[in-house]
Amino acid sequence: MVIALAAGLPGCLAAGAAAAGAGTGVYFTSRGAESIVEGSVADVERRARAVFAAEGIPVSGSQIENSGDKREIKGTKGGLDITVSMERQGGGQTTKTEVSARKNIAVWDKDYAQQLLDKIVKEK
């Protein structure tokens, strides 16, 4: 069904729609990479912090909203401002997770953002 719907969309949109429908796909956004990750927001935040530690990214800020249903952590590494935004989905068993790695006001390192998101997805 997703593939049939995606067939009428332009290239990148079709790939993003198919990945989003798969529930585990990682796809690019305008600023980084995004996926629906298995696990609660608290669990995904724990995994993101573990990936930050493994990558040598010190956490420089964090934010919790909506009684913990929406969270964000920030850090910097090698001139990149890295942000992981997490938001509860559905019954709370999955979390919409977006990672961005900003070089400057107009340039984003989407490849590094995707690498970080892949590691968050795989982190246990």
Q: How many domains does the chain have?
A: 1
Query: Looking at the domain assignment, is residue 19 inside a domain?
Result: no
- Note down the domain range covering 72: 25-122
Count of beta carbons in the 10 Å neighbourhood of residue 50: 14
Query: Looking at the domain assignment, is residue 18 inside a domain?
Result: no
**Contact (CB, 8 A) for 58 and 52:** yes
Average pLDDT over residues 108-115: 96
- Which helix (H) or strand (E) covers residue 103, if one does? none
Q: What is the mean pLDDT of the chain?
A: 85
In this predicted model, what pLDDT tens digit does every residue of 56-67 receive, in sequence order?
Answer: 999 999 999 999
Rg (CA), the chain: 15
pLDDT at 49 over 90: yes
Q: What is the band of 104 on the pLDDT scale with cuts at 50, 70, 90?
A: very high
Query: Looking at the domain assignment, is residue 14 inside a domain?
Result: no
CA angle 61/118/34 to nearest 5° reads: 70
Query: Looking at the domain assignment, is residue 5 inside a domain?
Result: no
At 3, phi and psi to the nearest 5?
-65, -40
Q: What is the band of 110 on the pLDDT scale with cuts at 50, 70, 90?
A: very high
Query: Looking at the domain assignment, is residue 108 inside a domain?
Result: yes
Q: What is the band of 26 on the pLDDT scale with cuts at 50, 70, 90?
A: confident
At 118, phi and psi to the nearest 5?
-55, -40
Count of beta carbons in the 10 Å neighbourhood of residue 90: 9
* Cα(69)–Cα(94) distance, integer angstroms: 11
Query: To which residue do tokens 């990945």 refer?
Result: 19
Q: What is the band of 11 on the pLDDT scale with cuts at 50, 70, 90?
A: very low
